[in-house]
Chain A
Amino acid sequence: QQQVKQSPQSLIVQKGGISIINCAYENTAFDYFPWYQQFPGKGPALLIAIRPDVSEKKEGRFTISFNKSAKQFSLHIMDSQPGDSATYFCAASIAGGTSYGKLTFGQGTILTVHP
């Protein structure tokens, strides 16, 4: 059962543009939504995360927008740079407690930023 759906599968953006990746989830019990960035041959690296008590979180050029009623969240990369070219994964979990933070991942988006 695919509980987190991510789109698009691939994205090409020009340097300086805005990259937008979207995710939708089904399980309303999820209460932690991280985004991971992965470069070829490396493990995923935690980029930014949000909890459903806020609708937006910004860290530098990266922003998560969260819509609880629509069960959707998105990653915005402002002023995209060639160094941002990587695969991005959204994920969701029920943090801590007896669910132990098990992450459910989206399928990933390959972002290419052209110079």
Chain B
Amino acid sequence: DAGITQSPRHKVTETGTPVTLRCHQTENHRYMYWYRQDPGHGLRLIHYSYGVKDTDKGEVSDGYSVSRSKTEDFLLTLESATSSQTSVYFCAISDYGDEQYFGPGTRLTVT
């Protein structure tokens, strides 16, 4: 998976609790992305980063925040998890903003 790890790989949490997902890369790529995958919707962009401390919103950013304090780490936080955020979350990286390589994913269940 192109030097990308995601943690945790699986998580079950309760509605209203905060959750942080971590993406770690060893490729020194500039761009990092968070997507969610849901049946019938393909993958949808949540947030992305184009450098350390440089982030912006994607298509489905409501209820999510991100931070990138180091090149290698990109964190996705659900401030107060809801059942609609049950999904599989994928991190991706890109060196020049074209080819993107995806991590193994985190399956999140909000009960």
A residues lining the B interface (CB < 8 Å): 6, 32, 34, 36, 41-46, 49, 89, 91, 93, 95-97, 99-108
Is B43 close to A, CB under 8 A?
yes
| 7 intermolecular pairs with C-beta atoms under 8 Å apart | A41-B105, A46-B101, A89-B42, A95-B98, A101-B97, A101-B100, A103-B100
Q: How far is the CB of A66 from chain B (nearest CB, A)?
A: 16
Query: Which B residue's beta carbon lies closest to that of A93?
Result: B98
Q: Which residues of chain A are within 8 angstroms of B90 by Cβ–Cβ distance?
A: 43-44
Segment 13-51 of B: residues with Cβ below 8 Å from A: 31, 33, 35, 40-45, 48, 50
Q: How far is the CA of A96 from the CA of B102 in the complex (A)?
A: 17
Q: Enumerate chain A residues within 8 angstroms of B50, measured Cβ to Cβ.
A: 100
Contact string against A for B residues 1-12, beta-carbon threshold 8 Å, 1 for contact and 0 otherwise? 100000000000
Contact of B33 among A42, A46, A89, A102 (CB under 8 A): A102
Sorting the interface of chain B by its residue count into under 10, 10 to 19, 20 to 34 or 35 or more gives 20 to 34
Q: Which 5 A-B pairs have the closest CB atoms?
A: A101-B97, A43-B102, A105-B42, A96-B97, A95-B98
CA of A96 to CA of B48 in the docked complex: distance in angstroms?
A: 13
The answer to whether A49 and B99 touch (CB under 8 A), given A102-B48, A108-B42, is yes
**Distance (whole angstroms) from the CB of B15 to the closest CB of chain A:** 26
Q: Does A105 contact B44, Cβ atoms closer than 8 Å?
A: yes
Q: How far in angstroms is the closest Cβ of chain B from A43?
A: 4
Q: Which residues of B contact A45 (CB under 8 A)?
A: 102
B16 → chain A closest CB, angstroms: 29
> When chains A and B are docked, how far (Å) is the Cα of A107 from the Cα of B90?
16
Contact partner of A46 among B44, B99, B104, B105, CB < 8 A?
A: B99
Q: Please give, as numbers and ranges, the residues of chain B lying within 8 Å of A107 by CB-CB distance.
A: 40-42
Contact present for B42 and A95 (CB under 8 Å) = no
Contact of B104 among A34, A36, A43, A95 (CB under 8 A): A43
Inter-chain CA distance A105–B31, complex, in Å, is 18
Q: B58-111: which have CB < 8 Å to A?
A: 58-59, 90, 92, 94, 96-105
A101 and B94 contacting across the interface, CB-CB below 8 Å: yes
Q: How many Å lie between the Cα of A49 and that of B99 in the bound state?
A: 8
